[in-house]
Amino acid sequence: MGRELKCRVRFGKKASHGKALLGTSEIIFRGDFRLKIPFAMIQSAKAVDGELELRTAEGVVVLELGEGAAAKWCEKILHPKTRIEKLGIKGGEKIVTLGFSKEDREFLEELQACTKEVSEGPLKAETQWIFLKVVAKADLQQLSRISKGMRGAAAVWVLYPKGQREITEGDVLSTGRAVGLKDVKVVGFSMTLTALKFVIPVLAR
């Protein structure tokens, strides 16, 4: 079922046709008016007769999505994937973290609960996942060295700040592509960070 659908939305006395996007942690609607509804702000959700009804502190939002989509969107809102699931990490995999600090303790604990093979580097031939946290454009230069150390289906997730001019998604994409990597996925890592995934192109493995 699509993550972006044309639909009609009712919110209070307002109603509009437009497009609704189901993100990993929020719903965004763009029509005659705009709505951004974080999952964390949804008090209740239910799907009835093709309509997704979301109750929030600001009122009830109804998205007319159709029978199948309303039920599936409701399920994803009520039972969202964990961060580890969104990132694709499985038990026992070998992970290297770079650029993390004490303030990232929560995520590091999530990784360690999933696998004991977590280290701060260096990369090894058997490394399957690399997590690189960057806070400035200059930090992206590490991707050159990382790409040279990657083997096979290994992947690197680049974590960068949301909504900052110092480093943008375009900066991350252009740097990764320049060193021969292919961008394949982006997820909302946290309220302040976005995660963008790069892999070695299949033909280059």
**Cβ neighbours for 172, distance < 8 A, ≥ 6 positions apart:** 134, 140, 158, 160, 196
**Which pairing describes strands 193-199 and 182-188: parallel, antiparallel, or unpaired?**
antiparallel
pLDDT of amino acid 188: 84
pLDDT of amino acid 1: 39
Percent composition of the chain: helix, strand, coil (DSSP 3-state, to 5) = 30, 40, 35
Residue 79 CB-half CA count within 13 A: 3
The answer to whether 136 and 165 have CB atoms below 8 angstroms apart is no
| Torsion from C-alpha of 147, 149, 150, 155, nearest 10 degrees | -60
pLDDT digit string (tens) for the chain, length 205 residues: 348 899 999 999 999 999 999 987 889 999 999 999 999 899 999 999 999 999 999 999 999 999 899 999 999 999 888 899 989 998 889 999 999 988 889 999 999 998 889 998 788 889 999 999 999 999 999 999 999 999 999 999 999 998 888 899 999 999 999 999 999 999 888 888 999 999 999 999 8
Say if pTM beats, i.e. exceeds, 0.85: no
Buried b / exposed e along 112-134 (16+ C-beta atoms within 10 A): eebbebbeeeebeeebbbbbbbb
Domains of the chain: 4-80 (2.30.29.30), 84-204 (3.40.50.150)
3-class secondary structure, 44: strand
Angle at 108 between CA 176 and CA 179, to 5 degrees: 10
Write phi, then psi, for 111 (nearest 5 degrees): -65, -45
Cα 114 to Cα 24: distance, rounded to the nearest angstrom = 21
